[in-house]
Amino acid sequence: MVDNNTVMKAGRCIECGTREIDGYSCYELFGFPLVWEHNDPKLYELHFWLVSCYMIQHPSNYTEEGYKHLVNLFIDAYDNNWDTPYILKKNSEIVKSVGKITNSIPNEERKRELRLWSMTIEDIYLGGEQNAIMNINKWKERIRNELKV
């Protein structure tokens, strides 16, 4: 099964390893917390982290340079405890200098490699809306620990 950003085979995302749950693909599971954050301003404050965690686990969505930018921005923001407005400002500056960051290769032709992560969007979905803030904070910490730098 191919959707907008992921490929599921044998019930698993071939990039991050997320299991299909309740009939939803990895990308469809990602949509749930995006909706939940509209119900809770505190959750919405974590939007950068939610999106970054998901996208870091799906590098096929980016050019090689764009992916490096995302990872470096994530690490700098995490390690320096940047607030969201500053993160967005830095992102905008870097994107202007990098140029195209998203992968222009058609979705079904992209090269994908499985990397198993200790936490994925599956965990956010299964934790539910009431635990989303806690789980997204845990997710960003886990991703930071799993990124080599």
The CA-based diameter of the chain, rounded to the nearest angstrom, is 41
Q: What domain range includes position 64?
A: 27-105+114-146
- The verdict on residue 87 lying in a domain is yes
pLDDT digits (tens, 9 = 90+) for 80-111: 999 989 998 998 888 777 767 787 777 778 88
Residue 21 lies in a domain: no
Could you give the number of structural domains in the chain? 1
Does a structural domain hold residue 131? yes
91 found inside a domain:
yes
pLDDT in tens, 30-41: 999 999 999 999
Q: Is residue 7 part of a domain?
A: no
Please, how many CA atoms are within 13 Å of residue 9, restricted to the half-sphere of its CB? 8
Task: Give this prediction's pTM.
Answer: 0.90
20 assigned to some structural domain:
no
Whether residue 118 is contained in a domain is answered as yes
Residue 59, in any domain of the structure: yes
